[in-house]
Each structure stands twice: as structure tokens, then as C-alpha cells.
Amino acid sequence: MTDTNKKGASARPVFDDDAPASAWTRWRDTEIWHSYSRSPVIVTASVVFVMLVLGALLAPLISPYTPFDPGSLNLMNGFTKPLSANEFTSDFFLLGADDQGRDIFSTILLGLRISLFVGISAVLFAMTLGVVLGLVSGYVGGWLDAVIMRIADIQMTFPSIMIAMLLYGIGKGLTPPDLRDEMAIWVLIFSIGLSEWVQFARTVRGATMVERKKEYVQACDLIGLSRWRIMFKHILPNVTGTVLVIATISLALAIIAEATLSFLGVGAPKTEPSLGTLINVGRQFILSGEWWILLFPSLTLLALALSVNLFGDWLRDALNPKLR
Amino acid sequence: MLAFIIRRIGQALVVLLAVGFVSFSMFKFMGDPLENLLGQEATMSDRAELAERLGLNDPIVVQYTRYLTRVLDGNLGISYRAGLPVGKIILERLPATLELAFLSGVLAIGVGITFGIYTAIHRDGIITNAIMTISLIGVSLPTFLIGVFLIWAFAVNLDWLPAFGRGPTGNFLGMELAIVTWGGFKSMILPAVTLGLYQMTLIMRLVRSEMQEVLRADFIRFARARGLSERAINFRHALKNTLVPVITVTGLQLGSIIAFAIITETVFQWPGVGLLFINAISFVDIPVMSAYLLLVGTIFVFINLIVDLLYFGIDPRLGPTGGEGRHRA
């Protein structure tokens, strides 16, 4: 098989009408854009999400204090109320301060960073694993397919949050004791990611089995492309829509799973707190009346999870041709 | 039919063996038992001899079989942290989890089905809209946040119910249960609501959508034409046909209640097996972790098996190929 042969197969005449429309005007003409711009809920959700992501990315720049630098903390600031200045130090706190005098607004921004980092990395990990296994399972089939799908079945018998907890426990046991705090974030990513791959694998497998029977795949086979090339260069682009939907929904699940694990004390360490850790800290003060330590991190987590969830739901409907 | 049952039981056994293998591997590959047993001055030959004596050089299948016989004998090892047999600790704590799961299951099914029927019949009322909105919040809020805010509202602000702990227990059928005493029951309400809320909303939405679909069916229209009362139509005709999918989903959700009890028990410091498991993870107490895995794995496999068989029994149309489209928590 020579190069010229391959090119010849996809050559088609170029008409003048094809060229001019810019990417933006073409994008504005798509059904996705229409469905997006007509739903105020989804526009709000995506604006909230973008703001949260920006807040997390720019956290070191916008946060007014450095809450995890012990040298800059002043215990006198402890329990300052929101929107007020401390009566001793006259430091101002937008969302109040916790028992150690840490600014809640800054801890939320930094916590958001950890939550998003863990959530996104876990989903990327789950996606890579799930897509590869799903493609192989659906395209190659045979005993490989049977083994992968049986493992997926067994894993699906159990709720993913429980699997994540168990994996975290195993991961923690396998890391050397003196590295446990440093490695905690990576163990967390690994365990959440490994608890979410099944959805990707099952869906991609299903889509691959449909694609495999189509003519373009047979054509690829005929011109002698390798299995891997067909799987990753030709089938994969055709299943990305579904993968994208699952990824957004998984992101919401992963963020909540991370918050839950950290809240339970089996996730992000105290030195690098995520939103879940902050909520756990805040919980200790509800009996004594310092509500702001609990409320603001909880609201942030809620806004994050809800906006991703709404976006995922919308994306699923927008990409589903049956609902158009 | 028989072939299906046998195959389904075979699958359940395979899953159980896999779960058992995971908990066996946790023992095998995490931590070195020889390191703990041998003194500082042990030589390599001592080490090799001990490994031989403990059977650590045997093929993995032999070791696994030995582990399984040991587990079936009820010997689950000694907790690293408490220094007590794991089986004993778990048996002590199991009633607390089971009664909590039971109460929240009853709550989820009772309230879920009632609200589901109500919202299906009264399609656009104020109450229906209120219920649907609350259920949306119930689905999107993480369990632990619901728990924390229930504590904040009902224990801190209103001071109606205890914030944490199990309260006094009474002896019932040989088990120490909190549900039989008034104080214990009061401290169970908040955890049970927290644990059951998600399942409740799920069951409610399912009943609602199934019932709405059934109410549109032809046989309901004929029932109306025959002049039956609304009551008879709704409950004798519609509800009966709604219950098939509800039973299966509910059955599968019972398993998730046990798993989500881990979160609820930690929030409310409820002394059940879930709290035990979380503490075991924090302290890397491997025997407890692996025993919990075995316990919950067995419960899950049994629930799934029973639900699958029930499904087949209730709706023979599904036939032996039924079993796809499992739930996901």
C-alpha cells in the first residue's frame, strides 16, 4: 500500500461555497449552539462553572490571604464573622475566618483548586482507561472482551463510592508510611478514576460494536490498516460524542466522590484541604454557632456539582439525535 | 427456567470468589507477615523456614483455598488496631447498621411510593411541584451534606433530635437494638432520613414515571369507560402494573443503602460496620477492611441474585437473557 493510494480514496472536488464561512459563524449555526443559547439555566450553569474554574486557576492571585502558610496566620483572627473586620487586628474577612484565623474565602479558592484538580484528573484517568478497554473489547472481541466485561460486571455490582473507598484504603496501605500525606492526592485520583471507568468502557464498547459493522471500517480493513490505527484513528473520533457526555456526568460524580472521601477523612490530607475537608472542618463548629465555616464551602461545592450536572444533562440531550 | 437459575447462581458464586480473591490479595500483598513475626536477628534461613512453615511458598491457588476454608470457619483474622478477632467486632456492630438500613429502607419505600402515586395522579398541583423540587435537591446534594444540614436544622437550631450517637439500646430477640427504645429511636431518625433520602427520591421518580405511563394505557381508558371509581382505577389497576420495575429497582437499592451507610454512620457517629470500615481505612487495618469487603460483597451478591430471580418470576417475558441494564449508584 502506497501513500498515493490512501490519498486518492478521500479526494473530492473543492467548491467555492465550501470555504468562506468562518469557524464562528459555522458554530453559531449548529444545533448545539441554538439549544445552548435558548436555555437560560444552562447558560447560568456554564457561567458559574467557568467562574469557579477561573477562581481555582487564579487562586494564588486573588486570594487575599495565604491560609496555609503558618507564618502569616494570626490566631487573634479566629472566628471573625463574615463581611466584617476583626476587632483586635482589624483584618477584613469577606466570608469570615475559621478557628485558626484562616480566611474562609482563600481556603475555598484553594480547596476548589484541589477538588477540581482531583476531579478532572480522575475523570481523565477513568476516560483513558475506559475508552481503551472499551475499544479493544468492542473491536477485538473474543476472550479479551469476555474478561474485560466480566470485570466490569463485577465492579458494577458495587456502588462506585464504595469501590473508591476500598481502593483508597488499598492504595494507602501500599504507599510507604512516611510518604502517605504527600501521595494522598494521587492515591485519591487513582482510586476515584478506577471506580469510574466502567461507564466509559461499556458505552464505548457498545458504540464500537455498532461502528465496526459500518462500511468505512470495512474499507479501512480492506486497505490494510492495522487494528490499532482503525480503532484509535477511525472509530474513536466517531464515539467521542458519547464519551464527552459520560465525561461531564462523571466529572460531577468524581467531584462529589472526592468531597465525600475527603469529608470522611480518607481523602485529601489536612495540609492540602479540598472542599470536602473544609466542610468537615466546618462541621465541627455547627454546635457552637460558627455557621460560616461550614456554609460557604458547602455552597461552593453545591454550585460546582450542580453546574457540572446541569451541563452534563444538557449535553446528553443536545447530542442525542432522538430528542431533536 | 431451571437452567437460568443454575446459571445465575453460578455467576453469583464466581462474583463471590472474585470478591474473596480481592480480600485475600489484600492480606497477601499488603504488609509482610514475616517481618512482623521474626525478630531483628532473624537470618535468611530462619525467614525461609518460617515462610515454608506458614505455607507462604505454596502455589497461590492452594493458599487461596486455605484462606477460603479459614473464612468459612468464621476466622477472619485479628484487627491490627483493636487486637480482637474481626468476626467478633463485626458481629457486635452489625445490628446497628442493619437496623439503620432497615428503617431508612422502610422510609424510602413507604414515602417514595406514596409520593410517587400522589404526584402521578395530581400532575400539576402546588404540592406536586413542591415535592418534585425537593426531590431534585435530594438527588443532587451529596449524602454527607444532607446529613450535616439536617443536624444543623433539627439538632442545633430546633433542638428536637440528638445530633449524633446511637442513644440507649434495648435487647430484642437477642440483639442490642436502638430502635426498640424511645431515646434510641429518636437518635435514629436523622441518620435514617439522611440515608434513605436518595433512595426515596429515586423510588418516587420511578413510581411517578411508570404510573404516568400506565395511566395512559388503553386498559385504563376501558376501566374508566366501564365506570369504575377513580380509586379502583388508580390502585387496583394502575398501581399493580407499576410495581414490577419498582420491586427490582428497590431491591437493588437496598444494597446501596448498606454501602451508603458508611457515609451516614460517619456523619452521625453511628457505631455500625460502616464507621468501622472508615476507621479501618484511616489506620490501614487490613483484616477489618478485607472482612468488611467480604461481608458487603456477600450481601450485595445475594440481593442481586434474589432480585434477578424475582424479576424472572414476576415477568416471564424477560426470559433467561434478562440481567442487562443494571443500576449504578
Note whether A260 and A191 are within 8 A (CB).
no
pLDDT at residue A76 in the model: 67
| CB proximity list for A302: less than 8 A, separation 6 or greater | B140, B141, B145
- H or E element: which one contains A216? helix A215-222
Say what the ipTM of the complex is: 0.77
Half-sphere exposure of A123 (CA within 13 A, CB side): 22
pLDDT at residue A1 in the model: 42
Q: Choose, out of B7, B23, B148, B270, the residue to mutate when testing the contact with A (most A CBs < 10 Å).
A: B148
The closest of A58, A106, A107 to A273, measured between CA atoms, is A107
Cβ burial, residue B192 (10 Å; 0-12/13-18/19+):
buried
Binned average pLDDT, 10 residues per bin, chain B of 329 residues = 82 86 78 63 74 72 81 77 82 87 89 87 82 77 85 81 74 71 80 88 86 82 83 78 77 80 88 88 82 87 82 61 41
Provide the residue-wise pLDDT of chain A in tens; the chain has 324 residues.
444 444 444 556 655 555 666 777 777 777 778 777 777 888 888 888 888 888 888 878 877 777 777 667 766 666 677 767 766 676 677 677 777 777 888 888 888 989 999 999 999 999 999 999 999 998 888 888 888 988 888 888 788 888 898 888 888 888 877 777 778 889 999 999 999 999 999 999 998 888 888 889 889 888 988 888 888 888 888 888 888 888 988 998 899 999 999 988 888 887 788 888 888 888 888 777 777 888 888 889 988 988 888 888 788 777 766 654
Chain A residues with CB under 8 Å of a chain B CB are: 150, 153-154, 156-162, 165-166, 168-170, 172-174, 199, 256, 259-260, 263-266, 276, 279, 283, 286-287, 289, 291, 294, 298, 301-302, 305-306, 309
pLDDT at residue A133 in the model: 93
Q: What is the DSSP letter of B233?
A: I
pLDDT at residue A322 in the model: 60
pLDDT at residue A205 in the model: 92
pLDDT at residue A189 in the model: 93
Distance CA B313, CA B325 (A): 18
Distance CA B120, CA B131 (A): 11
Q: How far is CA A184 from CA A56, A63, A163, B282, in A?
A: 20, 24, 16, 12
Chain B residues with CB under 8 Å of a chain A CB are: 14-15, 18-19, 26, 29-31, 140-145, 148-149, 151-152, 156, 163, 255-256, 259-260, 262-263, 266-267, 277-278, 280-282, 284, 286, 289, 293, 296-297, 300-301, 304, 326, 328-329
